[in-house]
Chains A and B, each alone.
Chain A
């Protein structure tokens, strides 16, 4: 008994953790469960199970178009953010650059600025320079938001890179560009992969920026939002479940790749 009581804080910590886990998972589980319900409204008990909602979603032209649109924006964002992020990380890690910490702080600012502020300022900006709302504007703002994550991940990896690696490549006959391609990039690969997956996921997930900057074509979150406005139905649950499963799979795969290339 004594050991039991002396372990009380530990037990309490463990119990509260599991409570939190339930709180995290329960809504997701409910959402997934409802997507299999053979009825038009969301409520317990489920009664009859069906896969019809999934069939409906997969044949829903709007859903497919919105998904493709979101993925397209995410890919464009990822490419831009990775190029800019790697470039800034290299700049900041270089030994003697004037205003190094200012560059770093500026690049990371969008990570802490609220999405709403970012969206409004971007909206004002594109009006001022006469860029129409729509795809390009969305990619612009998603990129600004994604860059800090690439910078931080790449910079962390760069700092763990032995300085001699690039020297060794140069010594063996590589000019600076070849050394970068053949040594620095492969070394950064785990961080690049992680950063890129992160870019894709934040871009697909984003609602606020897209809402302020989007045109007539809806991205996936906007489509789901519009549908929710029209009333909840298990079809929305099915859509959300598909998004959840796909993003989780991508995230886990990225984690696996990162771990493998590190070991």
Chain B
């Protein structure tokens, strides 16, 4: 399938500073793609280059196979939902949504019909004649979304559109956005720094850091198999273990972690014995026992910190080797308290060997 959007070796410099470096990214049509990264990682710049609001320093962007980097914003068939919505304050909700259609030269009867249709998609039919200032944050968000969808763009770009909403509304809008994306079948490119948002909505997540792509994958893949220290740390929470490789036998590697022998899958890795390696462990994959188990990995430690978080309890265990691990537990299953001696371990398939 031809990608709907294709960045080919795109570079963007601000003066001497690279904002985006050697970006190669192909986006399949109909997908919900999220560009995820901390502020300053180049995700917004990438989106603005696609929208036509930033020039490329080098490289080319293809939309439906055609190069578009020389086109001004109004000649590109992509629309943006801006972070602060950017609704026109002097126009009603209806006229806001009609704006793009009017410029396309659509007949006024057809515009009326299309706008009414779009408003009903987000249950805002009764608000058509209101001014943007008379709407709540969530309603403005929906109007901005419909305004951008109205001209029927190939790709819809969303620049952190949920960041101004409160937590509850944000979760609701995440589901709504995903539903609208599925119903319209449009390609959505969503920019955010919020990993939870990315995990909830995306078909594909593109993790960016310092102007480069760190990893591309499905949310579950990224979570379970992060490639780099950055991804392991940025998406969810990870315990990072600095080890030395002792030996590799088939798909299982043996590592020395501060005098303890631990194992992990090494599929796809070319690491050689003697080399330094980093293992990533999700807190919820660790087990924590009061007695030393037989035949399983168990490292002795003491609970130094305990935080109740509602759905789970997070404990920090200081190990005898001088490091500490964060373990996430079911709050009813165990009721360890600070100062308790415990045994911590994990199944070898849950430890992920990081490439960098």
Interface residues of A (CB under 8 A from B): 162, 164-165, 167-175, 178, 182-183, 186-187, 189
Given contacts A171-B80, A172-B103, A173-B151, contact A165 B73 (CB under 8 A): no
**B292 on the interface (CB 8 Å rule)?**
no
Asked if B86 and A174 make an inter-chain contact with CB atoms under 8 angstroms apart, the answer reads no
- Compute how far the CA of A178 lies from the CA of B99 in the bound complex, rounded to whole angstroms: 11
Top 3 A-B pairs ranked by shortest CB distance? A172-B100, A164-B86, A173-B103
Cβ proximity bits B89-123 to A, threshold 8 Å, 1 near / 0 not: 11100000001100110000000000000000000
- In the complex, 10 of the A-B residue pairs with CB atoms within 8 angstroms, ordered by the A residue number, are A162-B86, A164-B84, A168-B82, A168-B86, A169-B99, A171-B80, A171-B148, A172-B147, A182-B99, A186-B88
**B79 on the interface (CB 8 Å rule)?**
yes
Q: Which residue of A lies closest to B82 (CB)?
A: A164
Residues of chain A contacted by B104 (CB below 8 angstroms) = 173
Given contacts A162-B84, A162-B86, A172-B79, contact A167 B53 (CB under 8 A): yes
**B51 on the interface (CB 8 Å rule)?**
yes
Q: Which residue of B lies closest to A183 (CB)?
A: B88
Residues of chain B contacted by A183 (CB below 8 angstroms) = 88
**B72 on the interface (CB 8 Å rule)?**
yes
**B258 on the interface (CB 8 Å rule)?**
no
Q: Give chain A nearest CB distance to B314 CB in angstroms.
A: 39
Q: Which of B52, B73, B82, B90 contacts A189 (CB 8 A)?
A: B90
Asked if B89 and A187 make an inter-chain contact with CB atoms under 8 angstroms apart, the answer reads yes
Q: Which residue of B lies closest to A175 (CB)?
A: B74
Q: Which residue of A lies closest to B48 (CB)?
A: A167
Residues of chain B contacted by A170 (CB below 8 angstroms) = 52-53, 72-74
Residues of chain B contacted by A171 (CB below 8 angstroms) = 51-53, 73-74, 78-80, 148
Residues of chain B contacted by A168 (CB below 8 angstroms) = 80, 82, 86-88, 147
Residues of chain A contacted by B83 (CB below 8 angstroms) = 164
Residues of chain B contacted by A173 (CB below 8 angstroms) = 74, 100, 103-104, 151
Residues of chain B contacted by A167 (CB below 8 angstroms) = 53, 73, 80, 82, 86
Q: Which of B89, B90, B103 contacts A174 (CB 8 A)?
A: B103
Asked if B88 and A165 make an inter-chain contact with CB atoms under 8 angstroms apart, the answer reads yes
Q: Which residue of B lies closest to A189 (CB)?
A: B90
- Compute how far the CA of A173 lies from the CA of B83 in the bound complex, rounded to whole angstroms: 19
Q: Other CB < 8 Å A-B pairs besides A170-B74, A171-B148, A173-B151, 17 of them?
A: A162-B84, A165-B86, A167-B80, A168-B87, A168-B88, A168-B147, A169-B99, A170-B53, A170-B73, A171-B52, A171-B80, A172-B74, A172-B99, A173-B74, A173-B103, A175-B72, A182-B99
Residues of chain B contacted by A172 (CB below 8 angstroms) = 74, 79, 99-100, 103, 147-148, 151
- Compute how far the CA of A187 lies from the CA of B89 in the bound complex, rounded to whole angstroms: 8
Residues of chain A contacted by B52 (CB below 8 angstroms) = 170-171
Cβ proximity bits B138-176 to A, threshold 8 Å, 1 near / 0 not: 000000000110010000000000000000000000000
Residues of chain B contacted by A182 (CB below 8 angstroms) = 99
- Compute how far the CA of A182 lies from the CA of B90 in the bound complex, rounded to whole angstroms: 10
- Compute how far the CA of A167 lies from the CA of B87 in the bound complex, rounded to whole angstroms: 11
- Compute how far the CA of A228 lies from the CA of B82 in the bound complex, rounded to whole angstroms: 63
